[in-house]
Amino acid sequence: MRAILGSYDSELTQAEFSAQLTQRMWEAEDMVQKVHAHSSEMEVGGHHGAVVEPVDGELGGSAVPSKVFYFSVIITAQLSQALEELGVQKQRADTLEMELKMLKAQTSSAEASFPFCKEEVDALRLKVEELEGERSRLEQEKQALEMQMERLTLQGDYNQSRTKVLHMSLNPASMARKRQREDHDRLQGECERLRGLVHALERGGPIPADLEAASSLPSSKEVAELTQGHGGWHCCDPELQQPGEELRKQVESAELKNQRLKEVFQTKIQEFRKVCYTLTGYQIDVTTESQYRLTSRYAEHQSDCLIFKVLLALRDPVKVWVTRGSLLGDLRSCVQPVMTPGSFLLLSLAEP
């Protein structure tokens, strides 16, 4: 019962009860006054001999006082019911007021018996606010970590403690990484040989036999195309990116030095050939690989020359073509010695 009263008290207050009952009582009083006024008017009209016309076949003036009396009885019954309900509501309001006073008294006594409850409540409220802020921060961190995990998953990362990866024996990535390391080692070795060649050329001495093959090294452009053809250093193995850049720079620097030395040597060679031609009267030109042409400045024709070739391996029989009859016997007598690899052999005599 107390719970029902408490719920009712929480929905409606005493002021709302009084206002509703007062309004209802006023409406009932107004209705009673109107009924009494109408009854008085009807009675006055009957004493003065007024006649009321019947409506729709009903009885005449005698029906109106009966209706008024009927309405007055109904209104009186409603008024009595309203007054009874008003008494019940007043009694209920008094009961609720008494319970409210009792609850207030209990609350005040509880507060007096526990003076430290308010401080604890304030402290707990502050702690709850701090925990709420911490929870919000942790939720944000969780979302950031989830996004990072998704990004790493898309990049191919995985948890090694839970996931086991089986590598194929013919893995394209492993083959590309192996080929890249081999190219890196080869380029590094070629760079070392280039350094030795540059030092040998700077000293001006003879080129060692192991450095003669360095002259056929690829240029920096070819090295760049080679690295780009394999996807670049950084695409296969990021650990080799920095050494690859350094080696590329070293190759370019060595190539530049080699180019400058070649220009200097070419200038010196041209100068030496001009001096030899002026002093001896003979000029030597390279026609094809391992084949040289000897021309005299005192020849009858500009196309008269002797052609020599360096034989590295003597396999075919010696053949000599001579078109000028006056020199045939002399030329045949010149080619009789035994030829050895690395010697010069007279092949033909050109004619204009």
**With left for phi above 0 and alpha for psi between -120 and 50, is residue 62 left, alpha or beta?**
alpha
**Domain shared by 6 and 75, yes or no:** yes
* Whole-angstrom distance, CA of residue 276 vs CA of residue 269: 10
pLDDT tens sequence across 20-66: 656 666 776 676 677 667 666 655 554 444 334 443 444 444 455 56
**Domain shared by 224 and 320, yes or no:** no
Identify whether 121 is part of a domain.
no
Contact by Cβ (8 Å): 194, 208: no
* Poorest-pLDDT segment among 99-103, 107-111, 173-177, 266-270: 107-111
Identify whether 24 is part of a domain.
yes
**Domain shared by 9 and 90, yes or no:** yes
pLDDT above 70 as % of the chain:
56
Contact by Cβ (8 Å): 200, 258: no
* Whole-angstrom distance, CA of residue 317 vs CA of residue 53: 164
Does the pLDDT value for residue 191 go beyond 70? yes
Contact by Cβ (8 Å): 124, 116: no
Token digits of residue 51 = 């006649």
Alpha-helix residue ranges (DSSP H) falling in 204-240: 220-229, 233-236
* Poorest-pLDDT segment among 9-18, 197-206, 340-349: 340-349
CB atoms within 10 A of CB 183: 19
Identify whether 70 is part of a domain.
yes
**Domain shared by 7 and 72, yes or no:** yes
282-288 and 343-349 as β-strands: parallel, antiparallel, unpaired? unpaired
Taking each helix axis as running N to C, give the angle between helix 63-113 and helix 2-11, from 0 to 180 degrees, rounded to the nearest 10: 100
Identify whether 152 is part of a domain.
no
The per-residue pLDDT for 287 is 83
Single residue among 243, 276, 309 that ends a domain in this structure: 276
Which one has a higher pLDDT value, 207 or 186? Answer: 186
Single residue among 256, 276, 296 that ends a domain in this structure: 276
Domain count of the chain?
Answer: 3
Domain that holds residue 299: 281-349
Q: Which of 340, 291, 292 is nearest to 314 (CA)?
A: 340
**Domain shared by 296 and 323, yes or no:** yes
Place of tokens 């050939």: 273
pLDDT tens sequence across 77-86: 888 887 888 7
Does the pLDDT value for residue 14 go beyond 50? no
**Domain shared by 262 and 300, yes or no:** no
The per-residue pLDDT for 129 is 93
Give the mean pLDDT of 94-114: 76
**Domain shared by 269 and 289, yes or no:** no
First to last CA, the chain: 141
| 218 — pLDDT class (breaks 50, 70, 90) | low
**Domain shared by 225 and 286, yes or no:** no
Does the pLDDT value for residue 338 go beyond 60? no
Identify whether 117 is part of a domain.
no
Q: What is the CATH number for 340?
A: 3.30.457
The per-residue pLDDT for 119 is 79
Identify whether 144 is part of a domain.
no
Does the pLDDT value for residue 269 go beyond 50? yes
Q: Which of 210, 307, 207 is nearest to 265 (CA)?
A: 207
Give the mean pLDDT of 323-334: 38
Single residue among 108, 127, 145 that ends a domain in this structure: 108
Q: Which of 318, 307, 317, 314 is nearest to 341 (CA)?
A: 314
Give the mean pLDDT of 284-302: 83
Give the mean pLDDT of 306-331: 50
Identify whether 10 is part of a domain.
yes
Token digits of residue 175 = 């083959």
CB atoms within 10 A of CB 58: 10
pLDDT tens sequence across 118-130: 778 888 899 999 9
**Domain shared by 103 and 19, yes or no:** yes
* Poorest-pLDDT segment among 120-129, 220-229, 276-285: 220-229
The per-residue pLDDT for 97 is 83
Contact by Cβ (8 Å): 230, 180: yes
**Domain shared by 7 and 99, yes or no:** yes
**Domain shared by 327 and 265, yes or no:** no
Identify whether 162 is part of a domain.
no
**Domain shared by 257 and 343, yes or no:** no
Give the mean pLDDT of 273-290: 86
DSSP 321: B
